[in-house]
Copies of this chain bind each other. A is one copy, B any other.
Amino acid sequence: MITQAEIQLQTQGRGTYDITGQVQAAVRKAGINVGLCTVFIRHTSASLMLCENADPAVMRDLESFMSRTVPDGDPMFSHTAEGPDDMPAHVRSILTQADLNLPVCGGRCDLGTWQGVYLWEHRIAPHNRKVSVTIIGE
């Protein structure tokens, strides 16, 4: 059985947003026992990641790492039509994931204890983001 759902999220700008609950709700609603849940973001300046879900300092440190590795306003970049965070948002997206593929077992995504599903907004301004969830199971 194949089911699809959409998660919409209005971000408040750059930062991480926990969508684990919404993904688990879509799987529960699909009513399968075992299978695969594919989470897919339909954008190229925001991305998905699985990350430690306990200490908020992890998210701050991730931002620090990305800010150093892919700095806003880097003079190396020529794609700057939408501002100094435009091209860095594409690079950050490519270094992380556009899709996550999670095993479903016992009717839910079988994540590790410390794994959360996060949408990572890489643009500084708030954006409306669409995430597609495809559930294949039986």
Most buried by B among A44, A64, A110: A44
Q: Is the CB of A90 within 8 A of B58?
A: yes
Q: Is A51 engaged at the interface, CB distance under 8 Å to the other chain?
A: yes
Q: Considering only CB atoms, which chain B residue lies closest to A38 in the complex?
A: B101
- Tell me how many chains of this kind the complex includes: 3
By secondary structure, the A interface counts as mixed
A104 to B70, CA, bound (A): 32
Number of A positions contacting B (CB below 8 A): 59
A68 to B102, CA, bound (A): 31
| Among A7-15, A18-26, A76-84, the stretch in contact with B | A76-84
Cβ–Cβ < 8 Å partners of A112 in chain B: 41-44, 130
Q: Considering only CB atoms, which chain B residue lies closest to A110 in the complex?
A: B132
Given A103-B40, A111-B42: A79 in contact with B65 (beta carbons within 8 A): no
